[in-house]
Homo-oligomer: A and B are copies of this chain.
Amino acid sequence: MSEDSIACTPSPPYTAVIFTSLRDETPDDGYAEMAQRMDALAAAQPGYLGVESAREGVGITVSYWANDADAAAWKRVVEHSEAQRIGREQWYRSYRVRVATVTREYGHDKP
């Protein structure tokens, strides 16, 4: 899906949307193309701060937003709503969305 990188987010608070899924994998089912399009579309939305994504059995995509309203607005963007519908019907065996407020952040980078 997205770039192999850690999102560079501002000081908390901000909103994290944790999307965890199990796929029904079918070759050429349009998933990869749609995922790429949704990544690009998300990045163009107001309040978008970044995304992190990995799939290894389970798929985890965490998108970061300036606030809950911006995250909720992205959920309602028409093309994204359509992708969610196809996801429910075709691509995902199961998924969970958790909307959370980030209150603390810390980390470490090797010198």
Contacts and interface: CB of A to CB of B under 8 A. Distances in A.
Number of copies of this chain that the complex holds? 2
Interface residues of A, number: 43
B56 A52 contact: no
A94 B100 CA distance: 23
A5 interface: yes
Interface of A is mostly: strand
Contacts of A106: 96-97
A4 B94 contact: no
Interface of A: 4-7, 9, 12, 16, 18, 20-22, 24, 52-60, 62, 68, 88, 92-110
Given A4-B57, A68-B103, A96-B107, 4 more contacts: A52-B60, A60-B60, A97-B104, A99-B102
